Amino acid sequence: VVCRDGCIKAVGQADVIRHQFSGATFERIIDCSGKCVLPGLVDAHTHPVWAGDRVHEFAMKLAGASYMEIHQAGGGIHFTVEHTRKATEEELFNTFKHRLERMRRAGSTLVECKSGYGLNLETELKMLRVIERAKQSMDIGISSTYCGAHSVPKGKTATEATDDIINNHLPKLKELKLSGEIHVNNIDVFCEKGVFDLDSTRRILQAGKEIGLQINFHGDELHPMKSAELGAELGAQAISHLEEVSDEGIMAMARTKCAAVLLPTTAYMLRLKQPQARKMLEEGVIVALGSDFNPNAYCFSMPMVMHLACVNMKMSMNEALAAATINAAYALGKSDTHGSIETGKQGDLLIINSSRWEHLIYQFGGHEALIDYVIVKGKVIYQNERCGTM
């Protein structure tokens, strides 16, 4: 039972609920006989605001070019930055809205959304305004992330870029937060060899923390950088990627309850070694999942991400579901309100046309026929036109 305020009022056996609410009237009753009701999925890592796709780079990767080779040849992030800077706010909002709608149809009800394809203050703010506009106008949960340190801008050194972010970008974000124009939740840095080193990353994350942002950053993806150790030291809420994390880093994350946001799409598409999900789980790390939707990993579907996590990272289906719901909500600092079906939590739900929930993972790419309803705050935001046919 979901109340008018969008929160779950009661959960229990059908006959008990019917008796308890026998005198109540409901705007809508959905018969879920023979179906499964699941928590709405949470996508803990996406880059969904940008212009100019990179389909041509997929061909280069298939031919053997590495991520950093493409990056150094002026492709990768810099290609997208160029197109995003030229795009109007309206153009960016329209494509972003369309992407969020596709994520919703695949069952995502809370999505982390990053800036990071501006690399200058003007474009980063343009992206954050677009994210803010979607927060206000669309029926989907959004956790927004400032990722101005996604790459070093052309013509600057990493130190100059770091100084610019600390002295100009972050004070402006603080000002806009106080005026109520933009509410940013997290701060992110791409801590990587040839991008932002450990010292620059520490400086930016610390400065973000000081203006009230949660630390949630890219680390240990292509090279071992000791990012996990840094995140544990700074009290990070979450760290993403971690393909090259050290054993000490895993222990530090477990000890400080810093979530690991694993991205099986990235490792799959870039042919990297898979993150050590099993070791992390055995050591007690809170493991979450994200689609890493971006021009380099064009995936909207958390059911497909869960499938890849099970097959390629050896997670069980139960572990993958927890990682794409309650643990992903934890990685965004929202597990008290999202990620599970509990009284008092937000009524974000998924109804699938199967008597076994495992079909959501088992049917690789089959979610479009499987998901009957997506519900956010008790409101049906997506209903499959095939509803009712088993």
Percentage of the chain modeled with pLDDT above 90: 90
Judged against a pLDDT cut of 90, whether residue 299 lies above it is answered with yes
Reported as a single tens digit per residue, the pLDDT across 65-94 is: 887 888 877 788 889 999 999 999 999 999
Neighbours of 234 (CB within 10 A): 17
Phi, psi angle pair for 125, to nearest 5°: -65, -35
C-alpha 252/C-alpha 229 separation (Å) is 6
- Where residue 388 falls among pLDDT bands split at 50, 70, 90? low
**pLDDT at residue 61, rounded to an integer:** 86
Cα→Cα distances 322→36, 274, 319, 325, Å: 16, 19, 5, 5
User: 10 Å Cβ neighbour count for 3?
Assistant: 12
Burial class (CB in 10 A: 0-12, 13-18, 19+), 4: exposed
Global pTM reads 0.97
CB 215 within 8 A of CB 235: yes
d(CA 322, CA 39) in angstroms, rounded, equals: 10
Query: Which of the four pLDDT bands, split at 50, 70 and 90, describes residue 56?
Result: confident
User: When comparing pLDDT for 367 and 205, which is higher?
Assistant: 205
Give the model confidence (pLDDT) of 159-211 as tens digits: 999 999 999 999 999 999 999 999 999 999 999 999 999 999 999 999 999 99
Domains of the chain: 7-38+343-383 (2.30.40.10), 40-332 (3.20.20.140)
* Pairing between β-strand 371-376 and β-strand 349-352 as defined by DSSP bridges: antiparallel
Contact 174, 132 (CB under 8 A): no
Q: State the pLDDT confidence band at 390, using cuts at 50, 70 and 90.
A: very low
Question: 37 — phi, psi (to 5°)?
Answer: -110, 125
Residue-averaged pLDDT of the chain? 96
Q: How confident is the model at residue 60 (pLDDT cuts 50, 70, 90)?
A: confident
Residue 43 in contact with residue 291, Cβ under 8 Å? yes
pLDDT class of 271 with cuts at 50, 70, 90: confident
What per-residue confidence (pLDDT) applies to 298?
95
Chain segment 228-261, per-residue pLDDT in tens:
999 999 999 999 999 999 999 999 999 999 999 9
Q: How far apart are CA 170 and CA 349, in angstroms?
A: 36
pLDDT tens, 88-121? 999 999 999 999 999 999 999 999 999 999 999 9
pLDDT at residue 278, as a whole number: 98
